[in-house]
Structure 1
Amino acid sequence: MANSHTLETNVISQSDRARLRQRALVLSLALWAFMMGLLYYAGTFTSGGPIPPFELWLIRLVWMASGFALGWLIYRILEWSMERSSVGPIVSLVVLVCVFGALHTIANSLLYFELAGLSATPFQMFGLVTYWLHFQLAWGVLILTLVMGAQASAERQARLQAQREAQVAQLDALTFQVHPHFLFNTLGAVSSLVGENQFEKGEEMVRKLAVFLRRSFRREANDDVTLEQEFEDLRVYVRIERIRFEKRFDLKFSLSDCASDALVPGLLLQPLVENAIKYAVAPSADFVSLELAAKRIGDDVEITLTDDGPGAPQTHGLGTGEANVRNRLVARFGGRVLFSSGARPERGYLVRMRFPYQASIKSEQDQARSE
């Protein structure tokens, strides 16, 4: 079974890893150049006592070059261990820096003492190792910060991508709940009309159904549409239902200009209109008026659907209709969604929803040109 570090590290793409290695190289070069500058200005770069300046200069260059190469080796081992080992990156780095850093300091110190004709006591070697270990650990902390920062960024992007994919899948599932339900109802109505020898009405309903399906199937299931397009789709749907219910209702559309370009999931409102027809129009012998209105309120869009039918408040809106619409809004816009429904004080039913205004790209470009 893959361990957690394998999963986390593999989130970083190959291109990001290449950039990360370049940054690690640049950072290491900068730190060693900084140390060279400190040694030079501190006067220890060329003052080596019994060692001639030229030889001391070569020793220092070998020390820095080998330190840089060793640092790059530590980085690659750290990268490898994070992919294949269950040991945490912090523990891996501390162990690598302490072991390789101590060996590097001891080897260079022994070379220095040998060329100087001096002997080093264990206490002196311990002091040199601990002294340079501070610098080596500081380098390690910077490298670890660089690696873990890139890893955290990659994981965050992966989580966002997973959330987006989950939202798309949820929208697909909710959208697929709408189409079969509507199709079964409409085809059932056509069958009833044909059975009653109302062939002309049945033919007209089939034609309007074809128009409706052609409009809706041009888009992917989870595609956004503007409110203007959504209202046009609903007009076609209402024409079908008016044939079915022999024009016993009418739906008034009210769409403000500033809200017409707002984006919503396709066929978002159709289940609500279907519910209104089912609970307000179907049980009523009187003519029923419905109104669908959309407007901008600050940075939000508010949509209301009202009817004056006699539907019982305790049953109006049962089923998947309202839950479907609410869930699709939440999947699309997140937590900034308000949704309420209930009986009106005077008569009928009211559904109100509010969500963030997001315009289509085309409308944003048109607005930018006008400015």
Structure 2
Amino acid sequence: MASRLIPAPDNLSPKISPFWHRIFPVNIDIAVKTILGVWAAYMFANIVRATMWSPQSHNHSLEYYIITAVISITVTWALYRLLLKAGESLTLAVIILTVPTIFLALATVFVSNSLLAYPAPMLEYLSASHNIPLEEAHTFFFDAAFTNYLIFLGWGGLYLAMANSRNTEIALVHSRNLERLTRGSEIRALRYQISPHFLFNALNSVSCLIMDKQNGQAERLIDLIADYMRSVLYYDGEDIITVEKEVAQQIRYLEIEQVRFPSRLQFEVNISEDARQWKIPSLILQPLIENAVKHGVAQTSVPVCITISATIESGRLKLTVTNTGRVSVIGSKAKGTGTGLSNVRERLEALYGPAAALITGNGLDDVVIATIIVPSEDQIFKDYAL
């Protein structure tokens, strides 16, 4: 399954020039969008208010709004750089958004109005441009500074919230990727623990046939083993394959075992059409088939039929392996039985968590039944689809 990559920091994007990297070293998109957005909204609101509600109390030109916007954006950028100094310290960020930001707000109003008033005194300019008495110009100045302070404070809170949200998302994705890699390694380890076990048994069968002078059967068995291992290695790296492919691999395995037990081993396969393309862990059926052969076929002298079936029930895949060997699995301590089943359970838990299960038991006439319940792909742990 495809895994979601950790998003690269936007300041490292090759589409952004080194100049802008120096101006906005961190979270350039968040900083630029919030700074421009906040001040664009502020200027738009002022223009609408001056035009529609109080045209007589304002006498501002386009020059006023341009100068005010440039200075306000520049000062907000300075606040952005100050907040970078805080790093991950919330206390330091709060301190920066109090006293230093108050002085930045005062400086913004003072510089912008001084430039607009030049060469006249700033207070006289405020009095004339806003149609207020000269003695009230000081009050207007501090009111404007307080408004700017609230805007700076709001922008700072917005920026910190968005930056923290991004950092949290990156950390979460990173954590999930590490967990996914760990889980993938665990699944591969369990898978390769199964394959050598099968190979050992198969080669031992070849040895027995050669010792019994059954060279033709030994040659056929070697061909079957090669075909089986080729199919396994071909899908190497694919932890998840379709039911159809998995069952095809197990048929090859059973054909190998039929060479060992030509008169005792029979098998049937029943797969519903809607289950063929269902995704399952590769080789998940192998231990169940091995147990059926080892403890069902090998331990009896009568014919044994192993049946593999796959159906969809209540939105879940039901994989069943039954054998008529009549060997009870309830409380069984037969050597080798527990390890294979434990591997299956561990793989299911590693991939699906509690959404999947392996159930073993005895049916009518002590027929041994092993059932795997597997959810659909959209129910697999979310980090497998990130």
Place the TM-score, normalised by the shorter chain, in its bin: 0.7 to 0.9
Kindly, what percent of the aligned residue pairs are identical?
Answer: 23
Give the 5 Å matches for 1:284-363: 284-313=300-329, 314-315=332-333, 318-358=337-377
Which segments of 5 or more consecutive residues in structure 2 lack a partner in the other structure?
1-5, 14-25, 115-120, 125-133, 379-386
TM-align CA RMSD:
3.4
TM-score by length of 2: 0.76
Are 2:78 and 1:73 equivalent residues in the alignment?
yes
Q: In the TM superposition, what is the alpha-carbon distance from 1:205 to its structure 2 partner?
A: 1.0
Distance in 2, matches of 1:99 and 1:68, equals 19
1:104–1:61 CA distance, 2 compared to 1 (3 A): farther
38-47 or 168-177: which moved more?
38-47
Q: Residue type matched to 1:116 in 2?
A: L
323-332 or 170-179: which moved more?
323-332
Q: 1:187 aligns with which of 203, 207, 212?
A: 203
Distance in 2, matches of 1:168 and 1:65, equals 53
Partner of 2:123: 116
Q: Tell me the secondary structure at the aligned position of residue 301 of structure 2.
A: coil
Q: Is the 8 A contact 1:168 1:222 kept in 2?
A: no
Which segments of 5 or more consecutive residues in structure 1 lack a partner in the other structure?
1-8, 360-371
Q: Tell me the secondary structure at the aligned position of residue 335 of structure 1.
A: helix
Distance in 2, matches of 1:124 and 1:33, equals 18
Q: In the TM superposition, what is the alpha-carbon distance from 1:138 to its structure 2 partner?
A: 1.5
Give the 5 Å matches for 1:119-268: 130=146, 132-268=148-284
Distance in 1, matches of 2:95 and 2:72, equals 16
Distance in 2, matches of 1:100 and 1:358, equals 53
Distance in 2, matches of 1:96 and 1:177, equals 58
Partner of 1:30: 40
Q: Is the 8 A contact 1:292 1:304 kept in 2?
A: yes
Q: Tell me the secondary structure at the aligned position of residue 340 of structure 1.
A: strand
Q: Tell me the secondary structure at the aligned position of residue 296 of structure 1.
A: strand
Q: In the TM superposition, what is the alpha-carbon distance from 1:46 to its structure 2 partner?
A: 8.0
Distance in 1, matches of 2:52 and 2:73, equals 21
Distance in 2, matches of 1:60 and 1:235, equals 79
Distance in 2, matches of 1:45 and 1:142, equals 32
Distance in 1, matches of 2:267 and 2:245, equals 16
Q: Tell me the secondary structure at the aligned position of residue 319 of structure 1.
A: helix
Distance in 1, matches of 2:138 and 2:98, equals 17
Partner of 2:89: 87
Q: In the TM superposition, what is the alpha-carbon distance from 1:127 to its structure 2 partner?
A: 6.8
Q: Is the 8 A contact 1:280 1:348 kept in 2?
A: no
Q: Is the 8 A contact 2:71 2:108 kept in 1?
A: no
Q: Is the 8 A contact 1:11 1:158 kept in 2?
A: no
Distance in 2, matches of 1:304 and 1:59, equals 79
Q: In the TM superposition, what is the alpha-carbon distance from 1:17 to its structure 2 partner?
A: 3.8
Q: In the TM superposition, what is the alpha-carbon distance from 1:336 to its structure 2 partner?
A: 1.5
Q: In the TM superposition, what is the alpha-carbon distance from 1:35 to its structure 2 partner?
A: 5.4
User: Aligned pair count?
Assistant: 341
1:274–1:109 CA distance, 2 compared to 1 (3 A): closer
Partner of 2:102: 102
Q: Residue type matched to 2:333 in 1?
A: T
1:327-350 deviation per Cα after TM superposition (whole angstroms, max 9, x unaligned): 223333343212211233521311
Q: Is the 8 A contact 2:328 2:368 kept in 1?
A: no
Distance in 2, matches of 1:141 and 1:62, equals 25
Q: Tell me the secondary structure at the aligned position of residue 197 of structure 1.
A: coil
Q: Is the 8 A contact 1:329 1:337 kept in 2?
A: yes
1:251–1:34 CA distance, 2 compared to 1 (3 A): same
